[in-house]
C-alpha cells in the first residue's frame, strides 16, 4: 500500500492542526473535516484508508457519522474521545469503530495507532478475505474447518465456549470488541452476569493460549470496555 490517505475529523482547530502536522511530517496524505456532514461527504467522495473521528462534533453526533459510514464502507475508523467517556467509546465501538484514542493523546500514540491500522489493512488486502479457512497469528493457528486451534503446532484443548470466543476475537484481529458485542455474539444477550462469565472464559482461555497469562501477548484487555486480539510478530 503506498501512502495511505487519512481523513481527520475534528472541530477543535489546534488539535486538528497538530494531527495534520504529524501526518504531513510522516508522509501520510490527509483530508480534514471540521464537522460530521463534511466528514460523511469526504468519506464517500474520497474513500480514505483510515478515519480519525472526534466524537464531539458541532453538527452531527460522531456515533451517527460511524453508523452512516458503516452503511457503505468498512474503512477503519479510530475514534477520539475524552478520557472520562468510557460509555462513548463503547457506543462508538458497538456502532462499528475499530479503535479509540483518548484525549489528550501524544503524537507517538497517534502514529502507533495509525501504523497498527495500516498494517492490518495491508494484511487484509494480502490475505484476500477474513473468511480464510486457516488463521495464523504468531504461534497461534486456527483451522476453522476442523474446529481446532494450535499453539506452536500443539493442539489446544479448548472447551467449545473457549474455542468460540477465540474465533470471535481472531476474526476481528486488531479491533477492540466490547463486552456487549462479545456476549451478544456468544450468548445472544448481554446481562451483567454474562460479562462476569466472559471474564472467567478469558482467564481460562489465556491459561491455555498465553505463555505468561499475567502479561498476555494475544488477548489484550481494555478495562471497562472489552478485549482485542493483537497481531503478534
Site residues (vs Ca ion, CB under 5 A): 11, 54, 56
* Nearer residue to Ca ion within complex by CB, 54 or 98: 54
Q: What is the 3-state secondary structure (H, E, C) of the chain?
A: CCCCEEEEECCCHHHHHHHHHHHHHCCCEEEEECCHHHHHHHHHHHCCCEEEEECCCCCCCHHHHHHHHHCCCCCCEEEEEECCCHHHHHHHHHHCCCEEEEECCCHHHHHHHHHHHHHHHHHHHHHCCCCCCEEEECCEEEECCCCEEEECCEECCCCHHHHHHHHHHHHCCCCEEEHHHHHHHHHCCCCHHHHHHHHHHHHHHHHHHCCCCCCCCCEEEECCCEEEECCCC
* Nearer residue to Ca ion within complex by CB, 56 or 216: 56
Minimal distance in Å, beta carbon 103 to Ca ion? 9
Minimal distance in Å, beta carbon 102 to Ca ion? 14
* Nearer residue to Ca ion within complex by CB, 11 or 86: 11
Minimal distance in Å, beta carbon 30 to Ca ion? 18
Q: Which residue is nearest to Ca ion (CB)?
A: 56
* Nearer residue to Ca ion within complex by CB, 11 or 94: 11
Minimal distance in Å, beta carbon 34 to Ca ion? 9
Amino acid at each position: 500500500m503506498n501512502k495511505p490517505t487519512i481523513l481527520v475529523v475534528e472541530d477543535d482547530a489546534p488539535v486538528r492542526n497538530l494531527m495534520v502536522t504529524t501526518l504531513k511530517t510522516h508522509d501520510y496524505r490527509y483530508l480534514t473535516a471540521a464537522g460530521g456532514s463534511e466528514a460523511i461527504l469526504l468519506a464517500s467522495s474520497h474513500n480514505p484508508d483510515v478515519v480519525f473521528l472526534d466524537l464531539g462534533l458541532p453538527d452531527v453526533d460522531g456515533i451517527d457519522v460511524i453508523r452512516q459510514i458503516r452503511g457503505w464502507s468498512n474503512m477503519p475508523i479510530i475514534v477520539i474521545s475524552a478520557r472520562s467517556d468510557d460509555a462513548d467509546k463503547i457506543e462508538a465501538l458497538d456502532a462499528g469503530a475499530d479503535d479509540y484514542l483518548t484525549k489528550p493523546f501524544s503524537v507517538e500514540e497517534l502514529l502507533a495507532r495509525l501504523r497498527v491500522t495500516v498494517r492490518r489493512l495491508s494484511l487484509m488486502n494480502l490475505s484476500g478475505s477474513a473468511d480464510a479457512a486457516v488463521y495464523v497469528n504468531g504461534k497461534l493457528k486456527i483451522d476453522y474447518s476442523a474446529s481446532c486451534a494450535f499453539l506452536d503446532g500443539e493442539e489446544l484443548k479448548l472447551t467449545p465456549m473457549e474455542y468460540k470466543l477465540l474465533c470471535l476475537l481472531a476474526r476481528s484481529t486488531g479491533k477492540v470488541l466490547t463486552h456487549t458485542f462479545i456476549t451478544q455474539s456468544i450468548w445472544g444477550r448481554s446481562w451483567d452476569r454474562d460479562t462476569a462469565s466472559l471474564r472467567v472464559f478469558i482467564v481460562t482461555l489465556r491459561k491455555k493460549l498465553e505463555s505468561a497469562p499475567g502479561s498476555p501477548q494475544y488477548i489484550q484487555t481494555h478495562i471497562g470496555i472489552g478485549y482485542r486480539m493483537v497481531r503478534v510478530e
